[in-house]
Amino acid sequence: MNRPCRGFTLLLLISAFTTTHARASGPARACIEAHTTGQIERDAGHLLSARVQFTSCTAEVCPAMIRRECVALGESVVAMTPSVVLVAQDGDGRAIPGSRATIDGERAIVSLDGRPLELDPGTHRFELLLPDGRSQTVSATLSSGEKYRRIVGSFSAPPVAGSPPIPAAEPERAGRNPLAYVFGGLGVVALGAWGVYALDGRHKQDELERCAPHCQASEVDAMRKSYAIADVLLGVSLVSLGTGTYFFFKQTDEHTPQGSARTLWVQASGRF
Protein backbone atom coordinates (compact mmCIF):
# COMPACT_ATOMS: atom_id res chain seq x y z
CA MET A 1 0.00 0.00 0.00
CA ASN A 2 1.43 3.40 -0.93
CA ARG A 3 1.86 6.25 1.49
CA PRO A 4 -1.22 8.32 0.40
CA CYS A 5 -3.49 5.32 0.98
CA ARG A 6 -2.01 4.76 4.42
CA GLY A 7 -2.65 8.38 5.40
CA PHE A 8 -6.25 8.18 4.26
CA THR A 9 -6.88 5.00 6.28
CA LEU A 10 -5.37 6.56 9.42
CA LEU A 11 -7.56 9.60 8.96
CA LEU A 12 -10.69 7.41 8.82
CA LEU A 13 -9.72 5.55 12.04
CA ILE A 14 -9.10 8.81 13.90
CA SER A 15 -12.43 10.19 12.70
CA ALA A 16 -14.32 7.07 13.80
CA PHE A 17 -12.64 7.07 17.23
CA THR A 18 -13.44 10.74 17.74
CA THR A 19 -17.10 10.26 16.79
CA THR A 20 -17.55 7.24 19.10
CA HIS A 21 -15.90 9.04 22.02
CA ALA A 22 -18.09 12.08 21.50
CA ARG A 23 -21.22 10.00 21.48
CA ALA A 24 -20.17 8.04 24.58
CA SER A 25 -19.40 11.21 26.51
CA GLY A 26 -22.88 12.65 25.88
CA PRO A 27 -26.36 11.51 27.06
CA ALA A 28 -25.75 7.93 25.93
CA ARG A 29 -22.83 7.58 28.29
CA ALA A 30 -24.94 8.83 31.21
CA CYS A 31 -27.62 6.25 30.35
CA ILE A 32 -25.07 3.44 30.29
CA GLU A 33 -23.63 4.53 33.63
CA ALA A 34 -27.12 4.68 35.20
CA HIS A 35 -27.87 1.20 33.85
CA THR A 36 -24.69 -0.16 35.42
CA THR A 37 -24.99 1.75 38.71
CA GLY A 38 -28.60 0.63 39.16
CA GLN A 39 -27.61 -3.02 39.03
CA ILE A 40 -24.80 -2.43 41.53
CA GLU A 41 -27.18 -0.69 43.94
CA ARG A 42 -29.79 -3.44 43.50
CA ASP A 43 -27.30 -6.19 44.30
CA ALA A 44 -26.21 -4.25 47.41
CA GLY A 45 -29.81 -4.12 48.69
CA HIS A 46 -30.21 -0.39 48.01
CA LEU A 47 -33.43 -0.82 46.08
CA LEU A 48 -34.68 2.76 46.38
CA SER A 49 -31.44 4.11 44.93
CA ALA A 50 -31.47 1.46 42.20
CA ARG A 51 -34.96 2.51 41.15
CA VAL A 52 -33.80 6.09 40.70
CA GLN A 53 -30.98 4.92 38.44
CA PHE A 54 -33.22 2.69 36.34
CA THR A 55 -35.77 5.48 35.98
CA SER A 56 -33.13 7.89 34.69
CA CYS A 57 -32.00 5.52 31.94
CA THR A 58 -35.52 5.22 30.49
CA ALA A 59 -35.37 8.78 29.12
CA GLU A 60 -35.91 9.35 25.39
CA VAL A 61 -32.29 10.44 24.92
CA CYS A 62 -31.09 6.96 25.92
CA PRO A 63 -30.52 4.24 23.32
CA ALA A 64 -33.56 2.04 22.69
CA MET A 65 -31.86 -1.12 23.96
CA ILE A 66 -30.83 0.61 27.22
CA ARG A 67 -34.35 1.97 27.69
CA ARG A 68 -35.92 -1.47 27.33
CA GLU A 69 -33.53 -3.05 29.83
CA CYS A 70 -33.98 -0.23 32.35
CA VAL A 71 -37.78 -0.53 32.18
CA ALA A 72 -37.59 -4.27 32.92
CA LEU A 73 -35.01 -3.80 35.69
CA GLY A 74 -37.04 -1.00 37.24
CA GLU A 75 -40.19 -3.15 37.35
CA SER A 76 -38.30 -5.98 39.05
CA VAL A 77 -36.94 -3.57 41.67
CA VAL A 78 -40.43 -2.23 42.38
CA ALA A 79 -41.62 -5.79 43.06
CA MET A 80 -38.66 -6.41 45.37
CA THR A 81 -39.03 -3.20 47.41
CA PRO A 82 -40.78 -3.82 50.79
CA SER A 83 -43.29 -1.38 52.23
CA VAL A 84 -44.72 -0.62 55.67
CA VAL A 85 -47.83 1.05 57.09
CA LEU A 86 -47.22 2.95 60.33
CA VAL A 87 -50.05 3.00 62.87
CA ALA A 88 -50.35 4.74 66.25
CA GLN A 89 -53.45 3.53 68.10
CA ASP A 90 -55.09 3.75 71.50
CA GLY A 91 -56.09 0.93 73.81
CA ASP A 92 -59.27 0.31 71.81
CA GLY A 93 -57.38 -0.08 68.53
CA ARG A 94 -58.41 3.31 67.12
CA ALA A 95 -55.93 5.46 65.18
CA ILE A 96 -54.71 8.54 67.10
CA PRO A 97 -55.08 11.69 64.96
CA GLY A 98 -52.07 13.97 64.53
CA SER A 99 -49.50 11.22 65.01
CA ARG A 100 -46.18 11.35 63.16
CA ALA A 101 -43.01 9.28 62.97
CA THR A 102 -39.34 9.13 62.10
CA ILE A 103 -37.62 6.22 60.38
CA ASP A 104 -34.05 5.35 61.36
CA GLY A 105 -33.74 8.78 62.97
CA GLU A 106 -33.52 10.47 59.54
CA ARG A 107 -36.67 10.16 57.46
CA ALA A 108 -39.53 12.23 58.90
CA ILE A 109 -43.15 11.21 58.34
CA VAL A 110 -45.31 14.22 59.18
CA SER A 111 -48.63 12.34 59.15
CA LEU A 112 -49.62 8.70 59.62
CA ASP A 113 -52.36 8.59 57.01
CA GLY A 114 -52.33 4.85 56.31
CA ARG A 115 -50.41 5.08 53.05
CA PRO A 116 -47.60 2.53 52.51
CA LEU A 117 -44.00 3.70 52.84
CA GLU A 118 -41.31 1.97 50.78
CA LEU A 119 -37.97 1.07 52.37
CA ASP A 120 -34.89 -0.96 51.59
CA PRO A 121 -34.78 -4.53 52.96
CA GLY A 122 -33.15 -4.92 56.38
CA THR A 123 -33.70 -3.79 59.96
CA HIS A 124 -35.26 -0.38 60.56
CA ARG A 125 -36.16 1.63 63.67
CA PHE A 126 -39.51 3.43 63.77
CA GLU A 127 -40.27 6.10 66.37
CA LEU A 128 -43.99 6.86 66.62
CA LEU A 129 -44.81 10.26 68.13
CA LEU A 130 -48.13 11.50 69.52
CA PRO A 131 -49.30 15.12 69.66
CA ASP A 132 -49.05 15.08 73.48
CA GLY A 133 -45.32 14.24 73.32
CA ARG A 134 -45.48 10.55 74.10
CA SER A 135 -43.45 8.27 71.84
CA GLN A 136 -42.78 4.61 71.22
CA THR A 137 -39.94 2.97 69.31
CA VAL A 138 -40.49 -0.21 67.29
CA SER A 139 -37.82 -2.15 65.37
CA ALA A 140 -38.62 -4.48 62.48
CA THR A 141 -36.67 -6.42 59.86
CA LEU A 142 -38.13 -6.22 56.36
CA SER A 143 -37.66 -8.90 53.73
CA SER A 144 -37.36 -8.37 49.99
CA GLY A 145 -40.82 -8.33 48.42
CA GLU A 146 -42.67 -7.88 51.76
CA LYS A 147 -45.56 -5.49 51.21
CA TYR A 148 -47.76 -3.45 53.57
CA ARG A 149 -46.11 -4.63 56.81
CA ARG A 150 -48.03 -3.05 59.72
CA ILE A 151 -45.82 -1.33 62.29
CA VAL A 152 -48.10 -0.62 65.27
CA GLY A 153 -47.51 1.47 68.36
CA SER A 154 -50.17 1.00 71.07
CA PHE A 155 -50.66 3.80 73.58
CA SER A 156 -52.85 3.68 76.68
CA ALA A 157 -54.92 6.67 77.75
CA PRO A 158 -52.81 9.38 79.45
CA PRO A 159 -53.39 9.85 83.21
CA VAL A 160 -55.80 12.60 84.19
CA ALA A 161 -54.05 15.64 85.67
CA GLY A 162 -54.28 15.74 89.48
CA SER A 163 -55.41 12.12 89.84
CA PRO A 164 -53.43 9.94 92.25
CA PRO A 165 -51.17 7.33 90.69
CA ILE A 166 -52.63 3.88 90.35
CA PRO A 167 -50.88 1.58 92.84
CA ALA A 168 -49.21 -1.46 91.42
CA ALA A 169 -51.09 -4.67 92.03
CA GLU A 170 -49.50 -6.89 94.64
CA PRO A 171 -48.65 -10.38 93.51
CA GLU A 172 -51.18 -12.96 94.62
CA ARG A 173 -49.93 -15.08 97.43
CA ALA A 174 -50.17 -18.82 97.43
CA GLY A 175 -53.13 -20.10 99.46
CA ARG A 176 -55.29 -23.11 100.12
CA ASN A 177 -56.81 -24.75 97.09
CA PRO A 178 -60.64 -24.32 97.16
CA LEU A 179 -60.99 -27.98 96.20
CA ALA A 180 -59.79 -28.86 99.70
CA TYR A 181 -62.99 -27.39 101.14
CA VAL A 182 -65.16 -28.88 98.40
CA PHE A 183 -64.00 -32.45 98.97
CA GLY A 184 -63.81 -31.93 102.71
CA GLY A 185 -67.44 -30.79 102.84
CA LEU A 186 -68.50 -33.65 100.61
CA GLY A 187 -66.74 -36.11 102.92
CA VAL A 188 -68.51 -34.68 105.99
CA VAL A 189 -71.94 -34.86 104.29
CA ALA A 190 -71.33 -38.45 103.14
CA LEU A 191 -70.20 -39.40 106.65
CA GLY A 192 -73.37 -37.98 108.16
CA ALA A 193 -75.52 -39.81 105.63
CA TRP A 194 -73.61 -43.01 106.39
CA GLY A 195 -74.55 -42.69 110.07
CA VAL A 196 -78.23 -42.28 109.19
CA TYR A 197 -78.37 -45.36 106.95
CA ALA A 198 -76.22 -47.43 109.33
CA LEU A 199 -78.58 -46.67 112.24
CA ASP A 200 -81.58 -47.43 110.04
CA GLY A 201 -80.07 -50.79 109.08
CA ARG A 202 -79.34 -51.58 112.74
CA HIS A 203 -82.92 -50.70 113.68
CA LYS A 204 -84.32 -53.01 110.99
CA GLN A 205 -81.97 -55.77 112.14
CA ASP A 206 -83.30 -55.48 115.73
CA GLU A 207 -86.85 -55.77 114.44
CA LEU A 208 -85.94 -58.88 112.45
CA GLU A 209 -84.42 -60.47 115.54
CA ARG A 210 -87.71 -59.95 117.42
CA CYS A 211 -89.89 -61.35 114.66
CA ALA A 212 -87.64 -64.25 113.69
CA PRO A 213 -88.36 -66.79 112.29
CA HIS A 214 -91.68 -65.33 111.05
CA CYS A 215 -90.22 -62.18 109.40
CA GLN A 216 -91.20 -61.27 105.85
CA ALA A 217 -88.66 -61.33 103.01
CA SER A 218 -89.29 -57.65 102.21
CA GLU A 219 -88.16 -56.67 105.72
CA VAL A 220 -84.89 -58.57 105.22
CA ASP A 221 -84.34 -56.80 101.86
CA ALA A 222 -84.97 -53.41 103.48
CA MET A 223 -82.30 -54.10 106.11
CA ARG A 224 -79.77 -55.20 103.48
CA LYS A 225 -80.51 -52.13 101.34
CA SER A 226 -79.85 -49.76 104.28
CA TYR A 227 -76.55 -51.47 105.07
CA ALA A 228 -75.51 -51.42 101.37
CA ILE A 229 -76.18 -47.68 101.09
CA ALA A 230 -74.30 -47.11 104.33
CA ASP A 231 -71.28 -48.99 102.95
CA VAL A 232 -71.26 -46.88 99.76
CA LEU A 233 -71.56 -43.62 101.72
CA LEU A 234 -68.71 -44.67 104.01
CA GLY A 235 -66.45 -45.27 101.01
CA VAL A 236 -67.39 -41.90 99.46
CA SER A 237 -66.73 -40.18 102.77
CA LEU A 238 -63.27 -41.72 103.19
CA VAL A 239 -62.22 -40.92 99.58
CA SER A 240 -63.53 -37.35 99.77
CA LEU A 241 -61.89 -36.62 103.12
CA GLY A 242 -58.59 -38.04 101.85
CA THR A 243 -58.75 -35.95 98.66
CA GLY A 244 -59.66 -32.84 100.63
CA THR A 245 -56.71 -33.39 102.95
CA TYR A 246 -54.40 -33.68 99.93
CA PHE A 247 -55.58 -30.37 98.45
CA PHE A 248 -55.50 -28.70 101.88
CA PHE A 249 -51.78 -29.28 102.32
CA LYS A 250 -50.91 -28.72 98.64
CA GLN A 251 -50.59 -24.95 98.07
CA THR A 252 -50.79 -23.55 94.56
CA ASP A 253 -50.74 -20.15 92.88
CA GLU A 254 -53.21 -21.19 90.20
CA HIS A 255 -56.41 -21.72 92.16
CA THR A 256 -59.58 -23.12 90.77
CA PRO A 257 -62.01 -20.19 90.21
CA GLN A 258 -64.31 -19.64 93.13
CA GLY A 259 -67.37 -19.93 90.91
CA SER A 260 -66.27 -23.35 89.65
CA ALA A 261 -65.56 -24.59 93.18
CA ARG A 262 -68.98 -23.39 94.37
CA THR A 263 -70.71 -25.12 91.45
CA LEU A 264 -68.88 -28.36 92.16
CA TRP A 265 -69.92 -28.17 95.80
CA VAL A 266 -73.60 -27.70 94.92
CA GLN A 267 -73.54 -30.58 92.46
CA ALA A 268 -71.75 -32.89 94.88
CA SER A 269 -73.89 -32.06 97.91
CA GLY A 270 -77.09 -32.37 95.87
CA ARG A 271 -76.49 -36.05 95.18
CA PHE A 272 -77.24 -37.17 98.77
Q: What is the structure's pLDDT at 237?
A: 81
Calculate mean pLDDT across residues 131-144. 95
In this structure, is the dihedral angle defined by the CA atoms of residues 180, 186, 189 and 194, taken in order, positive or negative? negative
- Is the pLDDT at 171 greater than 50, yes or no? yes
- Its pTM stands at 0.50
The predicted pLDDT at position 47 comes to 96
pLDDT of residue 242: 85
Q: Cα–Cα distances in Å, from 248 out to 181, 231, 233, 254?
A: 8, 26, 22, 14
Q: How would you classify the pairing of strands 107-109 and 100-103?
A: antiparallel
To the question of domain 83-154 being in CATH 2.60.40.1120, the answer is yes
What are the sequence ranges of the domains in the chain?
3-80, 83-154, 178-269
Residue 106: CB atoms within 10 A of its CB come to 6
More confidently predicted of 128 and 2: 128
Q: By C-alpha distance, which of 71, 87, 77 is closest to 144?
A: 77
Amino acid 127: pLDDT: 96
